Structure 1
Amino acid sequence: MRFQALLTVAGLGSLPLGHAISGKSYTGWDCCKPGCAWPGNLGRGVQGVPKVCDVNNNPLGSALNIQSGCQSGTGYLCDLYVPTPVSDSLSYGFATMPAANCCKCFQLTWKSGNANGKQMVVQVVNNFEAGSNGLTNNDIVILTPGGGNGPNELGCRSQYGRNWGQSNGGVANSADCANLPQNLQGGCYWRYNWARGAINSWNIDYQQVACPARLTSISGCSA
């Protein structure tokens, strides 16, 4: 299928949907309300709002104006957003990218690291600003329990009572995944069992793709 829509990536201008972009993969899970569920972060053409959960991982209703657990509020990152392997070479999951990409989907292929050649389809439900923690507009942070809380110390402490591992990078190995709550352990083990490593700073190529129902049925949004 030949896509006619345009993808705008900061610094790269307007690119045909499906145009390959190079960047790096990282991991993160700060338990905060997803950035794409805030007013103003949903661009034109986006339908729905990414799901936000309460402290017990129950999806909330209209959550645009619910305060984040990272600011002493009641909105948290749902455990529904954990990465899921489909086969030895393909996984599905969710990601953090600049806000212009909210609710869009991307297919990425690792070009280095132990996952070299493996692919993943992710939907963007969270956002970062280029320059934060050394990230660029072309990088993708895959939502991975135990993947690091970044600058947001309060979210997981509020929801689960603690953070795990280093702020950037998270837990150091597969054995440390046993320290996470049971509902998050599978997502933590995913990067060591499926990707076979830490994932951080591994090279990727990726392109925008149509969002599969497998992801939009979880997130509640599409673009």
Structure 2
Amino acid sequence: MRLDISIAAALASVPFAAAISGKSYTGWDCCKPACSWSANLARNVQGSPKVCDINNNPLANGLAATTGCSSGIGYLCDTYVPVPVSDTLSYGFATVGPTASCCKCYQLTWTSGAAKGKQMVVQVINSFGSGTNDVKGNDLVILAPGGGAGPNEAGCRSQYGRNWGSNNGGVTSGAECANLPQNLQGGCYWRYNWARGAINTWNIDYQQVACPSRLTSISGCSA
């Protein structure tokens, strides 16, 4: 635990840019990540986010796979679930507005909500375009099963036969996480056990940091 906290502190001490303020949201649509399309990857990005088949097995050429949201074979891997490493630090993956952030990492600190003061290091593997419903350009959508499918309902229906909770926000309690497939339940419970709430609309400050190997070893990319 102490090692992970030390890593987070070291990352925070060498930011790439000034801190940005926004809000946190959650989402999990099961679709192939937007950063796994070659057109969305900047030249300095090494590799590309892994894409899985319907059984969560990594595809050999995820860049070429069509998305399960459009009758394709590419889905969001279940390894992208958030993981707590201490009571005050978690690792995970996120969706942001610009695709220019693909494979970059950010350290965020909650400044409101039940997780106020807690931190998370996330790597961007997805994009929500110009903004979806209440989500604005400076906001971060943390990938968490049961977090809401957003506008892409077809992905989880194709991969698992259903969605969970509302499209915007997902499930509303830890008890509802038991309705998810077993391989996704831990990532759903993370919200209610670690963050102690739904996370949506909580204020955050975040800044770009060097990506830890703990994340790049899962995604297969770095920037």
Give TM-score scaled by structure 2 length: 0.92
How do 1:129-168 and structure 2 match up within 5 A? 129-168=129-168
* CA distance in structure 2 between the partners assigned to 1:183 and 1:175 by the alignment: 16
Q: CA offset at residue 62 of structure 1?
A: 1.5
Q: CA offset at residue 64 of structure 1?
A: 1.1
Q: Aligned AA for 2:197?
A: G
Q: Is the partner of 1:124 in helix, strand or coil?
A: strand
* CA distance in structure 2 between the partners assigned to 1:133 and 1:36 by the alignment: 21
Q: CA offset at residue 120 of structure 1?
A: 0.0
* Structure 2 residue 49 is matched with structure 1 residue 50: yes
**CA 56–111 in structure 1, closer or farther in 2 if over 3 Å, else same:** same
* Structure 2 residue 173 is matched with structure 1 residue 173: yes
Q: Aligned AA for 2:44?
A: G
* CA distance in structure 1 between the partners assigned to 2:11 and 2:84 by the alignment: 28
Q: CA offset at residue 131 of structure 1?
A: 2.6
Q: Name the structure where strand makes up a greater proportion of residues.
A: 1
Aligned to 1:22: 21
Q: CA offset at residue 113 of structure 1?
A: 0.2
Aligned to 1:11: none
Aligned to 2:81: 82
The 8 Å contact of residues 31 and 67 in structure 2, kept in 1 or not, is answered as: yes
Q: Aligned AA for 1:119?
A: Q
Q: Is the partner of 1:188 in helix, strand or coil?
A: helix
* CA distance in structure 1 between the partners assigned to 2:17 and 2:210 by the alignment: 9
Q: Is the partner of 1:27 in helix, strand or coil?
A: strand
Aligned to 1:100: 100
**CA 2–86 in structure 1, closer or farther in 2 if over 3 Å, else same:** closer
**CA 172–65 in structure 1, closer or farther in 2 if over 3 Å, else same:** same
Q: Aligned AA for 1:214?
A: R
The 8 Å contact of residues 18 and 207 in structure 2, kept in 1 or not, is answered as: yes
Give TM-score scaled by structure 1 length: 0.92
* CA distance in structure 2 between the partners assigned to 1:44 and 1:114 by the alignment: 39
Aligned to 2:191: 191
* CA distance in structure 2 between the partners assigned to 1:155 and 1:2 by the alignment: 34
* Structure 2 residue 116 is matched with structure 1 residue 116: yes
CA RMSD of aligned residues (A): 1.6
Q: Aligned AA for 1:40?
A: A
* CA distance in structure 1 between the partners assigned to 2:133 and 2:213 by the alignment: 32
Unaligned 5+ runs, structure 2: 1-9
Q: CA offset at residue 44 of structure 1?
A: 2.3
Aligned to 2:90: 91
* CA distance in structure 2 between the partners assigned to 1:218 and 1:122 by the alignment: 12
* Structure 2 residue 36 is matched with structure 1 residue 37: yes
* CA distance in structure 2 between the partners assigned to 1:144 and 1:155 by the alignment: 15
Q: How many residues align?
A: 212
* CA distance in structure 1 between the partners assigned to 2:25 and 2:37 by the alignment: 23
The 8 Å contact of residues 82 and 93 in structure 2, kept in 1 or not, is answered as: yes
CA distances 1:161-214 after superposition (whole Å, capped 9, x unpaired): 000000000001000000000000000000000000000000000000000000
The 8 Å contact of residues 106 and 208 in structure 2, kept in 1 or not, is answered as: yes
* CA distance in structure 1 between the partners assigned to 2:91 and 2:110 by the alignment: 14
* CA distance in structure 2 between the partners assigned to 1:100 and 1:118 by the alignment: 26
Q: Which runs of 4+ in 1 moved over 4 A?
A: none
